[in-house]
Amino acid sequence: MVVEEVKAPLTRNITMSIGIGMAFVTTIYILANLAYIIVLSPYEMVTTSAVAVTYGAKITFVLFYIMPVFVTLSSFGTMNSNIMSSSRLLLVAARSNHLPRMFSLIGREHVAPIPALLFSCCISILMIATNSIESLILYTTYAGVIGSALSICAQIYLRLTRDDLHLPLRLPLVIPIGFLAFFLLVLVLPFTLPDKRLGIGMSFIIILSGVPFYYLFVWWKNKPKIFNKMDHAALVFCQKLFDCLPETVDMVELLKTK
């Protein structure tokens, strides 16, 4: 979804960013976990509510106050990328008629999917209304893993059955198979913990909640006229309210040159 935001994505920009980013993040995670293992005892890591803060307090008193700032900056960067990708996901789905067309509108001033961004914001507000942040993190994490695993399964299926398709970027089949094995391991291991089974079940329910939307917007072809009128009315209303336009290649290129 975000490839469209990158200049010359089919060149080395995407491959270099993925390779450098993954290597950099993996190295930092390994070094951080090694530091935790060396400094903290197993009991301290299990009982503490913030491992990084406890680690900073044992190293030096200054890190006790600096570590929460680092965690906040990391969370801010993560949320920034999640907001960008989730809104673009809604835009692409609406552009493919998988969701109401109003989510495919682009703002004229900032060239951003404003209706999709606002919808994502509303969903986020509903999610933070829960009384258990840990349960919310568990549900959304497993839902994301399940969605990624299903996407990789679809990719492997297309590579085996439609190898003649022209793709701008082709990777060896062993890479998606390796990712799928990792995701399956992440999904299977928590079943050994009874307190995690409810979270996995809720994650499956979250994924299955998209099935009615598929039958409503994709599978159902002969929709009544009232349905199309409501979709068009919502499209026009959002255009006037948010000063947006339907996404076209010429329109986006014109707005980018402003």
Give tens-digit pLDDT for 127-159: 777 777 777 777 777 777 888 888 888 888 888
- With beta carbons less than 8 A apart as the criterion, state whether 97 and 78 touch: no
Distance of CA 9 to the CA centre of its chain: 19
Q: Compute the average pLDDT of residues 19-30.
A: 88
Q: Has residue 258 got a pLDDT over 70? A: no
d(CA 202, CA 200): 5
Distances (CA, A) of 191 to 7, 85, 195, 229, 255: 43, 29, 9, 47, 50
Cα separations in angstroms, 155 against 10, 52, 149, 171, 206: 18, 37, 10, 11, 22
pTM of the model: 0.70
- Cα–Cα distance measured from residue 41 to residue 206, given in angstroms and rounded to the nearest whole number: 37
Region of 4 (left: φ > 0; alpha: ψ -120 to 50; beta: rest) is: alpha
> What is the band of 200 on the pLDDT scale with cuts at 50, 70, 90?
confident
Q: What share of the chain is helix, strand, coil (3-state, %, to 5)?
A: 80, 0, 20
- As a whole number of angstroms, the distance between CA 214 and CA 221 comes to 11
CA distance 121 to 118: 5
* Contact by Cβ (8 Å): 103, 115: yes
What does 70-131 look like in DSSP terms, one character per residue?
HHHHHHHHHHHHHHHHHHHHHHHHHHTTSS-GGGGEEETTT-S-HHHHHHHHHHHHHHTTSS
Residue 43, pLDDT above cutoff 80: yes
> pLDDT tens across 209-252, in order?
878 878 877 788 787 888 888 888 988 898 888 888 887 655 55
